[in-house]
Structure 1
């Protein structure tokens, strides 16, 4: 089990190195992460590589018994490189270049940038190919974060045109037909005429915009594969990983595709960030962890766990004593098997002075230091249990094209697909059920319950897989705006929605409405009245059983929520976003039908089962600031208990 800290020794006086290493060992660490932003230190002038500084750092780490995760420094190209090649800088959608001075400012389509990345990575790998202390290589840093997943420069336009030329086999007529460019006289005579979807009057073609999203994703995946390939060519046994940021479902990059280029996935877990008055809810934190675990369907590392307040210019909530340790335990409960804190010591200079670390700039160990130390002491005895795979009975499916489609055409100003997923996930979270958040392309046949939220873009292959799953005895919960468009982001002519799913769900949708408000639609069911909002499908049941109907004067004849038997399984359809009590009831029925256990947990208490048969534990986590009792156990504020089963 990896337990460690992110350490930036180049930011401190070299005389502090040994004392820092000794104190890192005192914490209970066995690994440090270094190097990821130190390009200039490694190559102070073009072609003059100097790794002597990190040689000394790694030699001392090896001597002290610390392993090293070494980062390629490509997220922060040096000033000399930008001076020589200013066109390396990526551009905003108005054509203005991003200024040197931050990070992630390079364009992934830039040939000079790629060439210099190749040189520094090759030199690094050759220099350290026999270094036994380096146990993993981190490529870049938080790919696609902070807007770096988008660039609007001429190089990207040419690369996008090449991307489309390849996709359509050089046939511009095929592109015109697929996009429907006869609309608004947008036919192209050649690929060189195709624009970037920069701001215009009204809007660009939705199919073009989806291909632009795919191109942006392709660039990042290709960049990750390029780095991984370089390292593997020189160090075949290298463990290559990447530290993904939060909010992956909102990026213009398919992180699951990027993850396939890696040996290991890591996550930078920030339950609170600058300006937040309070942390994310426990279920939202859990959702992020479950999503990261789902990128490869494997356990993961956390490369940035927090202990202090965070923020670049505006700081936020300070985790209460014991709360950040609780979040660390939560990470381990959800499949993290190696955790490093960001950072060992808070910076005294530079943009992250207010990202507080384990130590402050005064270098005095206080509460946060000892809290980390206690966490490492507490978690280490459970290494065997916490390194076993997570087995979930339920899965939430997401689709990159569908998420992109909603970014392109939101349809409702209130519809936030990630928020909808989190709401569905939260019901299972509060019932003590483990959930995998996985791409829809992944095999989901082994799950007892599968949730398909707002998957607007589908294809016959996916719908056939979903039908086979339910027919074989699975339980599916499908929500509105699923199976509406084809893979080109176009409506499907001649087919009623949900496309190719009418028999599975036992219904069709006659009309739709975006209501632009929460809880504004009255609904009625056998158990009473409720409300719904955001969007609604006017459902005409065929074989489906009506669970809830709309209860307003014009639309009482339409169903709102249904259940349909299909083969040996059942498919639920949510035609709207119901109030929380109604959602709890419907998903509770689905869980019962799927044979999933529902624990009675107090608000703010999480329960996770880990381990294998015969060697299992239940981890109880109290996220509350007050003491509670759960499953017969007394829990003090932010307490974690590991109970044998």
Structure 2
């Protein structure tokens, strides 16, 4: 287990290094993370390499028995590279070139940038290949963050067309037929006529836009793979390569899980607050992000940036209250993090991150935050066996990259936000203190008891077959509105009732649809066992006719009161729920309780705002108990102060 800080010694006078490292040791750290933004220091002029500064830092760290995580510096190119080769700079949608400055300005498809990246990584890895203090290598920094996953330059135009040639076997007629390009006279005679989906009048073909999303994802994945392959070649297959993913994973134009296949450990930069936020994101959203990172490789993960202070670049956000940031670190460990670094050791006095406050502020004084970190590290070291234990889940949320992309392409409702529909399903199970895996659609999910599948609008035969088999064998699946509408190419299917190829599984079909807008909630009412319960739906509504399914809730309005809002169908030895609208929290709570009870999944009762995560080690039960509120709480007779986290043995 590694516990430590993100340290940028190059930002400070070299005479401060000794004192800084002593303070880092005093915190209880055993690792520092360095180097990720220092390309110019390593190569100040083309071909002029100098790693002596970091030789000194590492040598001093070794004297303190500190380990090192070293970052490849490719997220921040040197100015000389941008000046000499402007083709490495990406372009915005209007073809305005990104100027040097900021970070991640590069194009993922620039062959020139690939070349220079390879050179610096080879030199860096070769120089430090025998350095035992380096326990892991981080590639780049937060791929795709801040809009850097999208580029409209000529490099991307050429690469996109080459991608399409390969995907369609160089057959332009096949592409035209599949995309339906006769519509609006968009038929292509050659691949070099195909545009990127930059701004135009009305909108581009949905199939083109879907292929663009796949291409963008592959662009990021290939660049990551390039870096991993170089490091493994030089350092050996046993070397540890990580990447630090940012938040916003449901909105990115790349499939994080595909990239994760190429690295050894998923790392995450966990920011419950950021600039301009008046309060943190809800605890279930934080938890879902942690479960997402654990699910990317289905193993424990690292956090390379945990926060202690207020954050922001130009605008500062909410200040974590005493113990609140420490509490988020407990939550991270509860959800499968087994190594954690705080961003940052000391807040910067120069540059764009002056308002990203660290453990120590720019006044260089040890105060509350320092001692909170110290206390947290001490507690974690005493419970390393629990921290490293595997999390067992019986419930999984299934997400799908193409479905996320399809909603980016055609939202269908101004209220539609894919991540919110994930949270709508995730939250009630989380609040019952049930362990949840958040995993991609293509992995094996046969061992779970319950699958939660939000708005999987794009259907794939192989996934549908796995889901049907899962239910036949006794599993429970929960679908939500707009399921199985689009095929692989983002087209509707002629002659198929929605959800396509699922009518037998859900025991019905969608008769009518309606996109709901702001303030346009629809009423639903329970029937049969749910008679007397009323609720609302938002965002969208699929109005269902049943064949073999039982109706649980109906739409309660003048025109559609004979159509179902929520149905349940028995299929084989299992059950399939279809929730046809964005139902309110109370209705979701009722459905979740029913599913958990009938699935014999353990529920841990706790006060509102108190999260409990169970871990089992050597046949003994441990509980992470986390108070997300500013009030004093209790769990099983144990008192919790405001924003306090505890790890207790049953």
Cross-structure match for 2:88: 88
Aligned equivalent of 2:399: 398
Question: 1:599 deviation in Å?
Answer: 2.8
Alignment partner, residue 215 of structure 1: 215
Maintained 8 Å contact 1:523/1:551: yes
Q: Which residue of 1 aligns with 2:68?
A: 68
Matched residue of 1:222: which SS?
helix
Report the 3-state secondary structure (helix = DSSP H, G, I; strand = E; otherwise coil) of the residue aligned with 2:278: coil
Give the SS at the match of 1:158: helix
| 1:562 equivalent in structure 2 | 567
1:427-481: CA deviations, max 9, x gaps? 0111010111110111111111101110000122111111100110101111110
* Contact 1:42-1:51 at 8 Å conserved across structures: yes
1:550 is matched with: 555
How far residue 528 of structure 1 moved from its aligned partner, in angstroms, is 2.1
Q: Give 1:242's aligned residue.
A: 243
Quote the residue 1:138 is aligned against.
138
Q: Is contact 1:250-1:403 (8 Å) kept?
A: yes
In 2, Cα distance between equivalents of 1:568 and 1:193: 52
CA distance in 2, matches of 1:211, 1:613: 48
Write out aligned runs for 1:225-304 (5 A): 225-236=225-236, 237-304=238-305
**Partner SS state of residue 514, structure 2:** strand
- C-alpha displacement at 1:590, in angstroms? 1.6
Q: In the alignment, what sits opposite 1:412? A: 413
Match of 1:152 in 2: 152
Task: Measure, in 1, the Cα distance between the counterparts of 2:390 and 2:210.
Answer: 35
Q: Comparing 538-547 with 519-528, which one deviates more in the overlay?
A: 519-528
1:320-351, Cα deviation, whole Å (9 max, x unpaired)? 11101100000000000000000001101000
The answer to whether the aligner puts 1:123 opposite 2:123 as a matched pair is yes
Superposition TM-score, scaled by structure 2 size: 0.98
Aligned partner of residue 484 in structure 2, secondary structure: coil
Report if the CA contact (8 A) 1:293-1:335 is conserved.
yes
1:26 paired to 2:26: yes
Cα drift, residue 534 of structure 1: 1.4
Number of aligned residue pairs: give it. Answer: 645
Determine the C-alpha separation between the residues in 2 that align with 1:601 and 1:571: 29
| Aligned partners of 1:473 and 1:569 also within 8 Å | yes
Q: Runs of at least 4 residues of structure 1 off by over 6 A? A: none
**Residues 291-440 of structure 1: pairs in structure 2 closer than 5 A:** 291-440=292-441
SS at match of 1:362: coil
Structure 2: distance between partners of 1:73 and 1:508: 53
Whether the 8 Å contact between 2:210 and 2:406 is mirrored in structure 1 is: yes
The yes-or-no answer on 1:636 pairing with 2:637 is: no
Give me the CA root mean square deviation: 1.0
Please give the secondary structure, in 1, of the residue aligned with 2:108: coil
Q: Distance in 2 between matches of 1:338 and 1:317?
A: 25
CA separation in 1, counterparts of 2:176 and 2:578?
A: 35
- Structure 2 Cα separation of the partners of residues 393 and 321 of structure 1: 35
The alignment partner of 1:115 has SS state of helix
Q: Deviations over 1:221-264 (max 9, x none)?
A: 00000000000111112211000000111000100001111011
In 1, the alpha carbon distance for the partners of 2:572 and 2:441 equals: 21
How many Å apart are 1:611 and its aligned residue? 3.0
CA contact (8 A) 2:260 2:266 kept: yes
1:519: Cα distance to partner?
6.5
Residues 2/527 of structure 1: CA separation in 2 closer, same or farther (3 Å cut): farther
**Does the Cα contact within 8 Å between 1:518 and 1:534 map onto a contact in 2?**
no
